[in-house]
Structure 1
Amino acid sequence: MQQLDGAPAPATDLQQLALLGFGHFTTMRVEHGGVRGLSLHLDRLARDCRTVFDADLDRDRVRDLVSRAIADEPEPVLVRVTVFDTETALGAPGAPSRPRVLVTPRPATGPRPSALRVQTAAFMRDLPAVKHTGLFGALHARAEAQRAGWDDAVFADDRGRLSEGPTWNLGFAADGRIVWPEAEALAGVTAELLARTAAGTRAPVTRDDLAGMCAAFATNAGFGVRAISAIDDVAFDPDHPALAELERAYRAIPLEALAARR
């Protein structure tokens, strides 16, 4: 169940998050009592808490709060951990903060999701180094793409470089290697784990470069690796062997135990 600092979250304590949206978060998948890249998720929360609130975050306390919130949830479960201050004021977001931890579990997706068809959208995320709760621009791009008949959007910066999707990182397979787009984007935990285990390079990718790519894919903690079958009018093979290799590499990443050692 959803909990704020280990207790049921009253609506009054969630008003700041709903009205201002001033906070940051990470989302992780828990299975068999563990998380792929747990330490990276905790690093992100601690780093972003210092950036957003100029405050420290107790990593072991976060682990304990997540464990308690999902104690009665069937695994696998997706857990969003949101850090915000219920006392933040619109006119004084720089005042000393007392960040609180909201844990929101939901069932993980079941069957493997189908390949994505995505439309490019000119968009650059605010403060991309932080996984913050300001998702309006990203979700608006997704909404516009879906209204035009696509599954999702993929962002292009002011130099035409492809960067990421609204809630996922972007990658390509070309000439027997993985290519991660070089552009400002939110650094995803799943992409980072795969970059450590699968040989790849980082290079700028524009729409003009897509014809030279054999396959395209999205990554996030919810689905791992997901094929992209089209970016605008450029089609990709959703069953390319490189994607199966990536999926195997992802599944082989060890789970880190969620329960903190005592």
Structure 2
Amino acid sequence: MATLNGSPAGLADMQALALTNYGHFTTMVVEDGAVRGLALHLDRLVEDCRTVFGARLDAEWVRECVRRDVGGCEGRLTVRVTVFGPGLDLAAPDREVRPSVLVTTRPAGGVADPLRVQRLVYRRDVPAVKHVALFGQLWMRRRARLAGFDDVLFTGADGLVSEGCTWNIGFVDAAGTVVWPEADVLQGITMRLLRSAHGGHVTAPVTDGLLRSMRAAFATNTAIGVRPVASVDDAVFRTDDPVVTALREAYAGVPLDRL
């Protein structure tokens, strides 16, 4: 299902997004018409629209578009809200446009097994923006999966850990402190909610040595919540760590906001 500015989306409406692939988005899980961190998702869209298009986006209009699409649905759905400019093309990406709001849905996933990830050197373009240019990320995910891993974990040229393909990574050190990588990353909504709902978090440069000293690791994003990481390359972590369990419980306890 896809709607554009609150109405059914047609093929011609999607052409600019498909051919130019310039825009930004957020992904949220809607549970019986409610969302964890709804205000953070809307704030992200407003801020990224200012960065990507130099335009003002009405957060309440976005909310209304999502509400029209899934506000009355029961159960869990994964909803992606994409903001793009139908008037843009490759020759004139600087053209002033009125951004459009595309809402697409898919079934929400269930509980998944712990991840086994491979480190590869990569830095996303404009890391602070959740943009639609995903080729580089998916190319790296493909490489990792062809090598026998579940997913990819990015590092910088300096070897410092940054983020996963479409998720943030956190670690638990020997003392039980949650450690997030200090790097240019997309500040995920789930990560931000966890830092508010669960205490004892720090940020530090994650070197190979520090990574190998950690007792647990986990991935976070809206679709997966908190998912244990079983291994990074040949470094193995416990997947039943009580701190990771507490993080999952803390996330489950974050109040839902009605659309």
What corresponds to 2:155 in structure 1? 156
Residue 224 (structure 1) aligns with: 225
Determine whether 1:145 maps to 2:144.
yes
Q: Does 1:106 align with 2:106?
A: yes
Secondary structure, aligned partner of 2:220: strand
Q: Tell me which residue corresponds to 1:166.
A: 165
CA distance in 2: counterparts of 1:149 and 1:117, whole angstroms: 9
TM-score by length of 2: 0.97
CA distance in 2, matches of 1:238, 1:98: 46
Please report how far the alpha carbon of residue 32 of structure 1 lies from its aligned counterpart in structure 2 after TM superposition.
3.0
Q: Tell me the amino acid that sits aligned with residue 56 of structure 1.
A: R
Q: How does 1:1-262 map to 2 (within 5 A)?
A: 1-71=1-71, 73-110=73-110, 112-174=111-173, 175-198=175-198, 199-258=200-259
Counterparts of 2:182 and 2:24, CA distance in 1: 24
Deviation of 1:221 after TM superposition, in Å, equals 0.3
C-alpha deviation, 1:87, in angstroms: 1.0
Q: 1:171-212: per-residue Cα shift (whole Å, max 9, x none)? A: 001111100000111110000111122220000102221221
Is this contact kept in 1: 2:32–2:74, CA < 8 A? Answer: no
Q: Secondary structure at the match of 1:114?
A: coil
The answer on whether the counterparts of 2:87 and 2:95 sit within 8 Å (CA) in structure 1 is: no
- The 1-side partners of 2:48 and 2:213 are apart by 36
- Counterpart CA distance in 2 for 1:98 and 1:243 is 43
Q: Gaps (5+ residues) in structure 2? A: none
Measured after TM superposition, the shift of residue 91 of structure 1 is: 1.5
Code of the aligned partner of 2:19: L
- 1:130 aligns to what SS in structure 2? coil
Secondary structure in 2 matching 1:117: strand
User: Which secondary structure state, in structure 2, belongs to the residue aligned with residue 83 of structure 1?
Assistant: strand
Question: Structure 1 length normalisation: TM-score?
Answer: 0.96
Structure 1 residues 39 and 95, CA, compared in 2 at 3 Å: closer, same or farther? Answer: same
Aligned amino acid, residue 63 of structure 1: R
Q: For the residues of structure 1 that align with 2:72 and 2:235, how far apart are their CA atoms?
A: 45
Change (3 A) 1:38 1:79: same
- Please give the alpha-carbon distance, in whole angstroms, between the structure 1 residues aligned to 2:54 and 2:95: 10
* Distance in 1 (alpha carbons) for counterparts of 2:72 and 2:19: 30
Deviation at residue 12 of structure 1 after TM alignment: 1.2
Equivalent position SS for 1:45: helix
CA distance in 2, matches of 1:53, 1:204: 32
Q: Distance in 1 between matches of 2:38 and 2:204?
A: 27
Residues in 2 aligned to 1:109 and 1:22: alpha-carbon distance in whole angstroms = 27
Q: 1:150-181 CA deviation, whole Å, 9 max, x = no partner?
A: 00000001211101111100000111110000
Q: Do the aligned residues in 1 keep the contact of 2:177 with 2:201 (CA within 8 Å)? A: yes
Structure 2: distance between partners of 1:22 and 1:186: 17
Q: Residue type matched to 2:250 in 1? A: A
Instruction: State the identity %.
Output: 50
Q: Distance in 2 between matches of 1:239 and 1:2?
A: 39
Indicate the RMSD between aligned Cα atoms, in angstroms. Answer: 1.0
Residue ranges of structure 1 left out of the alignment (5+ in a row) = none
Q: Distance in 2 between matches of 1:62 and 1:205?
A: 37
The answer on whether the counterparts of 2:33 and 2:70 sit within 8 Å (CA) in structure 1 is no
